[in-house]
Amino acid sequence: MNYNKIKKVIKNKKYPITDFIINQVGMSVTGFNQALANETLTVKKLEEISRVLNIPMCNWWEEEDQFVVEKSAVAYGGDLIGEIRWLKKQIDGYIDTIERLKNQIDQIEVQSNFKIGGSQELELRHDHS
């Protein structure tokens, strides 16, 4: 959510910001500014601001939503086959890394006579020779 947009919209609607915050939102100027700075404005207060400004709640998120849509269009609107090949290569690389790490764990277990279980506990191996 774009918290800076709230003040801009209030100013664009020609409301005196101090009067708007105190009389329309029911907050102190300091509390309002802190809520914006900390990004902790309640939904109830945001709904009140939206109602008074006659702006739908989705307005506060529109640019972020549009950015996500545009980013997705670029990422997935191009060469899908190339994207799939790249993702498969990435997955294969992760699988190789996992197998290499598993082999290292197996070697450590053999060398140290410990068994590393799936539950993060170490079990002492007993040789019954």
Contact 124, 114 (CB under 8 A): yes
Would you say the C-alpha torsion 36, 37, 43, 44 has a positive or negative sign? negative
Please determine, for residue 26, whether its predicted confidence score (pLDDT) is greater than 80. Answer: yes
When mean pLDDT is compared across 17-21, 37-41, 85-89, 116-120, the lowest value belongs to 116-120
Boundaries of every domain in the chain: 4-65, 79-124
User: What are the percentages of helix, strand and coil residues in the chain, rounded to 5?
Assistant: 70, 5, 25
Helix, strand or coil, per DSSP, at residue 118: coil
Q: What is the pTM of this model?
A: 0.47
Please determine, for residue 17, whether its predicted confidence score (pLDDT) is greater than 70. Answer: yes
Cα separations in angstroms, 12 against 17, 89, 110: 10, 50, 71
User: pLDDT tens for residues 49-83?
Assistant: 988 888 888 877 766 545 454 555 444 455 667 77
Cα separations in angstroms, 55 against 18, 36, 64, 111: 19, 18, 17, 68
